[in-house]
Amino acid sequence: MTEAENTTGVEKARESSRPKWGQMIAWVVLLLLLAIVALGLKRTQEGPVSVGKKPPAFELTTYQGEIISSADLKGKVVVLNFWASWCVPCEQEADELEAAWQTYKDRDDVIFLGVAWSDMDTKAREYLDKFGITYPNAPDLGTRTSQAFRIRGVPETYIIGKDGLLAHVQIGPFSSVSQITALIDPLLDQ
């Protein structure tokens, strides 16, 4: 074996022992992408926020311009109702929600809050006028609140207890005022 062949062999050995940065970077990038995809899939597969857990924080600006933050609602029973003017099932429960609100509106420890999801302001205001809804309502700007609560449609209602934990999730419309009050009343004694 000649000296030249020996030198080539040594160079090859050196090359093979060198870290292959290109491959390493490619693997790292691939793993990062997979992690992002996995996180996205995990998030989409999750259902609505669980009862007994702390619900997500939110901040809404009502159609009257009032800013309502979840931080300001501590110690109150919060009835957070997601609705839309184009949603027929929402109309079924609109009167019931307003009637229930009328029974609690003089109390300081209960608040009803409507969130218009994917709705146009003009249509939403027409809807509120049509059903004579008096409790605060706000558009879901950027769909941030609905995404935080991972809602899957409207109507959906989240009842939060005085302890700040989610007490009930109502998927679909309420059928009566008594159904709503039966869910709220036990939370008033907390």
Nearer to other proteins, 139 or 161 (CB): 139
What is the closest distance, in whole angstroms, from the C-beta atom of residue 33 to other proteins in the complex?
7
Tell me how far apart the alpha carbons of residues 100 and 180 are, in angstroms, rounded to a whole number: 7
What is the closest distance, in whole angstroms, from the C-beta atom of residue 36 to other proteins in the complex?
7
Nearer to other proteins, 97 or 116 (CB): 116
List residues binding other proteins (CB under 8 A).
26, 29, 33, 36, 84-86, 117-120, 122-123, 139, 141-144, 147
Tell me how far apart the alpha carbons of residues 39 and 33 are, in angstroms, rounded to a whole number: 10
> CA-CA distances (angstroms) from residue 85 to 19, 129, 139?
61, 11, 11
Look up residue 77 and give its two tokens.
């029973």
> CA-CA distances (angstroms) from residue 53 to 50, 149, 160?
6, 12, 10
Query: Pairing relation of β-strands 110-116 and 137-139?
Result: parallel
What is the closest distance, in whole angstroms, from the C-beta atom of residue 116 to other proteins in the complex?
10
Nearer to other proteins, 22 or 52 (CB): 22
Nearer to other proteins, 53 or 64 (CB): 64
What is the closest distance, in whole angstroms, from the C-beta atom of residue 131 to other proteins in the complex?
17
Nearer to other proteins, 110 or 124 (CB): 124
What is the closest distance, in whole angstroms, from the C-beta atom of residue 186 to other proteins in the complex?
34
Tell me how far apart the alpha carbons of residues 62 and 139 are, in angstroms, rounded to a whole number: 7
Tell me how far apart the alpha carbons of residues 189 and 97 are, in angstroms, rounded to a whole number: 21
